[in-house]
């Protein structure tokens, strides 16, 4: 007798066939197919649940095989499928069980079906694997408004599953559940409340429109953290597909997320590399994956260990992170906007007009070197911030809602241009240049400034991406000369001034 379920390897789901067979021998239940401890313990849970249901299984030997046998099974999600298979073998269930139905859920000792971590990605994987119907435990935290396209039957007890399989009315299904309304986003932060920093606000608008990484360098208290924490207010809301992807990652990590706003993760600089990248005996998503489709803010970026920062290379370059262990190798998505903030020197006041820096050139150089060259190369916008004079009369600035509408319009132009939901910061470079080629004069200008500033090829491609986003915000059809100049200014002017001052101090 074969019953289908879903196994997970990271975010990737695969079909698991639960085969049950009675054999002569001492009464026992044996589970084979590379089960881990949580799956081996399923036999005690399943036996108790079936006993509560009125089915005694301890009168003959039962062998339960989880196929494919070469993949390690690491979740109690197969309990329900095992119980259904045993009931079928014992003759308690006469109706045939179609192969297009998947059974998910853990059993308690009284026959109640419980949800486990990874239930949502397993339901989504069932749809991709071609299952027409999924039996799963009811969980009020599920985003039902995004699951309308999946035929999911929600059950609470083993008895309800039997009734449904025997043709009785379904107690809970996607058709009977009300469509949840996503609550409006509430935030006490807004760009109109931030005094000054007009150039930084524009840079963050460009970053949001094209998904470009930003590094802010400035003295303590100049507003770096405030700008970064306000940044999510100008990001577009997540699409249904993106929201499901994000919620799946949070479920796998055992965390909750209650709205459709882009994630904002703010790990402390003492966080370990495993906390940031992900890992463990059974690899779970780290901060870079929990920031997927959102923002990863690294405050005091130079205080992170160099080894930890260098582990950001793969997710920044490919948008995913691969975690290899002896037992398995899993890959999690990690498309995020990196917002970094750091002081210009150990004391924090190098280049300040109001405070004297007590650091030696050697100390300043060593502090800057904590962020390696490859990480600098993967950052699109470098901002040098200074303290704002709060006594000056503030200008009228746009609120976050106004900026967000401009960002949404710019992203819509990018989606139309590339024919898919992908931004200038993520699209392959050959596609970007095919859609928006540089003129010969622009190519010469970029090469000239690249030679002067010793920019790598990666930096030059990032400048072209930035220029395309700036042109999108200006509603220009092609990359303009002004957009290219502005893009180069994000890498050139402020950084160069600080570097020259430091060299003169040496």
Three-state SS sequence of 115-157: CCCCHHHHHHHHHHCCCCEEEEECCCCCCHHHCCCCCEEEECE
347: left (phi over 0), alpha (psi -120 to 50) or beta: alpha
How far is it, in rounded angstroms, from Cα 39 to Cα 82? 10
For residue 68, say if its preceding peptide bond is cis, omega within 30 degrees of 0.
yes
pLDDT tens digits for 452-462? 988 999 999 99
pLDDT tens digits for 361-398? 999 989 988 899 899 999 999 999 988 877 666 577 78
Of 173, 205, 223, which residue constitutes the final position of a domain?
173
138 pLDDT band, cuts 50/70/90, is: confident
Report, as an integer, the average pLDDT of 86-91: 90
Any domain includes 455: no
Report, as an integer, the average pLDDT of 351-370: 87
Residues 211 and 239 in one domain: yes
How far is it, in rounded angstroms, from Cα 135 to Cα 123? 9
Determine contact, residues 61/23, Cβ cutoff 8 Å.
yes
Any domain includes 58: yes
Any domain includes 458: no
Residues 167 and 248 in one domain: no
Angle between helices 198-210 and 457-473 (to 10 degrees): 100
CATH code for the domain of 169: 3.30.230.10
Three-state SS sequence of 93-108: CCCCCCCCEEECCEEC
pLDDT of residue 357 exceeding 80: yes
pLDDT of residue 478 exceeding 90: yes
Instruction: Name the 3-class secondary structure at 280.
Output: coil
Residues 377 and 246 in one domain: yes
CATH code for the domain of 208: 3.40.50.300
Any domain includes 428: no
Cα-based distances in Å from 195 to 192, 330, 389, 400, 403: 8, 45, 9, 14, 16
Per-position DSSP letters for 180-211, written without gaps between them: PPPPPP--S--GGGS-S-HHHHHHHHHHHHHT
Cα-based distances in Å from 252 to 120, 248, 259, 376, 402: 9, 6, 17, 31, 35
Residues 319 and 394 in one domain: yes
Of 407, 423, 439, which residue constitutes the final position of a domain?
423
Any domain includes 502: no
Cα 182 → chain centroid: 20
Residues 247 and 371 in one domain: yes
Q: Which two tokens stand for residue 416?
A: 């139309």
Residues 150 and 225 in one domain: no
45 pLDDT band, cuts 50/70/90, is: very high
Residues 168 and 290 in one domain: no
Q: Which two tokens stand for residue 445?
A: 């200008």
Structural domain count of the chain: 2
pLDDT tens digits for 336-345? 999 999 999 9
172 pLDDT band, cuts 50/70/90, is: low
Any domain includes 495: no
Q: Which two tokens stand for residue 498?
A: 């600080």
Residues in Cβ contact with 13 at an 8 Å cutoff, skipping those fewer than 6 apart:
6, 7, 121, 122, 124, 125, 126, 128, 129
State pTM to two decimals. Answer: 0.88
pLDDT of residue 405 exceeding 50: yes
How far is it, in rounded angstroms, from Cα 298 to Cα 268? 7
How far is it, in rounded angstroms, from Cα 264 to Cα 401? 18
Residues 148 and 278 in one domain: no
Residues 232 and 116 in one domain: no
Burial class (CB within 10 angstroms; exposed 0-12, middle 13-18, buried 19+) of 316: buried
Of 423, 445, 464, which residue constitutes the final position of a domain?
423
Cα-based distances in Å from 401 to 209, 232, 344, 485: 14, 11, 32, 27
Residues 235 and 368 in one domain: yes
Residues in Cβ contact with 466 at an 8 Å cutoff, skipping those fewer than 6 apart:
206, 210, 212, 380, 381, 424, 486, 487, 490
Q: What pLDDT sits at residue 394?
A: 59
DSSP-H helix ranges across 389-476: 400-418, 429-435, 440-453, 457-473
354 pLDDT band, cuts 50/70/90, is: confident
Q: Which two tokens stand for residue 116?
A: 């486990």
Range of the domain at 141: 2-173
Any domain includes 442: no
Residues 221 and 329 in one domain: yes
Cα-based distances in Å from 112 to 93, 116, 168, 300: 18, 13, 19, 48
Which DSSP helix (H) or strand (E) runs through 56?
A: none
Residues 301 and 231 in one domain: yes
Any domain includes 471: no
Which residue, among 210, 241, 277, has the nearest Cα to 422 in the 3D structure? 210
């Amino acid at each position: 007798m074969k019953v289908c379920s879903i196994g997970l390897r990271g975010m990737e789901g695969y079909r698991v066939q639960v085969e049950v067979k009675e054999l002569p021998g001492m009464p026992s239940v044996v589970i084979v197919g590379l089960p881990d401890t949580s799956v081996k313990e399923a036999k005690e849970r399943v036996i108790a649940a079936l006993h509560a249901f009125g089915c005694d299984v301890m009168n003959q030997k039962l062998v339960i095989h989880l196929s494919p046998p070469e993949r390690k099974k690491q979740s109690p999600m197969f309990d329900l499928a095992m119980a259904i298979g045993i009931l079928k073998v014992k003759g308690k269930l006469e109706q045939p069980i179609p192969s297009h139905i998947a059974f998910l859920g853990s059993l308690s000792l009284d026959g109640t079906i419980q949800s486990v971590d990874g239930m949502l990605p397993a339901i989504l994987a069932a749809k991709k694997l071609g299952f027409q119907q999924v039996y799963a435990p009811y969980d009020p935290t599920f985003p039902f408004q995004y699951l309308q396209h999946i035929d999911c039957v929600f059950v609470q007890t083993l008895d309800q599953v039997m009734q449904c399989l025997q043709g009785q009315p379904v107690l809970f299904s996607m058709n009977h559940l009300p469509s949840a309304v996503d609550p409006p986003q509430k935030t006490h932060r807004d760009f109109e409340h931030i005094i000054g920093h007009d150039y930084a606000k524009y840079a963050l608008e460009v970053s949001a429109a094209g998904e470009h990484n930003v590094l802010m360098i400035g003295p303590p208290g100049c507003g770096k953290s405030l700008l970064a924490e306000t940044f999510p207010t100008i990001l577009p809301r997540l699409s249904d597909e993106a929201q499901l992807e994000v919620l799946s990652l949070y479920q796998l990590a055992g965390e909750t997320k209650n709205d459709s706003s882009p994630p904002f993760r703010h790990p402390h600089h003492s966080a370990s590399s495993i906390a940031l990248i992900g890992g463990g005996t059974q690899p779970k998503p780290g901060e870079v994956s929990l920031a997927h489709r959102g923002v990863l803010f690294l405050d005091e970026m130079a205080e992170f260990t160099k080894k930890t920062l260098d582990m950001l290379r793969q997710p920044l370059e490919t948008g995913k992170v691969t975690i290899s262990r002896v037992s398995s190798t899993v890959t999690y998505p990690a498309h995020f906007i990196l917002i970094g903030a750091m002081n210009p020197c150990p004391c924090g006041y190098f280049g300040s007009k109001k405070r004297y820096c007590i650091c030696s050139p050697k100390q300043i150089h060593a502090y800057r070197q904590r962020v390696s060259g490859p990480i600098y190369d993967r950052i699109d916008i470098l901002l040098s911030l200074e303290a704002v004079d709060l006594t000056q009369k503030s200008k009228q600035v746009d609120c976050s809602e106004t900026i967000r509408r401009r960002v949404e319009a710019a992203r819509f132009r990018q989606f139309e241009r590339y024919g898919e939901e992908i931004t200038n910061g993520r699209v392959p470079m050959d596609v970007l240049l095919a859609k928006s080629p540089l003129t010969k004069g622009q190519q010469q200008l970029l090469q000239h400034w690249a030679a002067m500033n010793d920019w790598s090829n990666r930096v030059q491609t990032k400048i072209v991406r930035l220029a395309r986003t700036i042109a999108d915000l200006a509603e220009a059809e092609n990359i303009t000369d002004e957009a290219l100049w502005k893009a180069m200014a994000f890498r050139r002017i402020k950084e160069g001034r600080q570097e020259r001052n430091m060299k003169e101090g040496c």
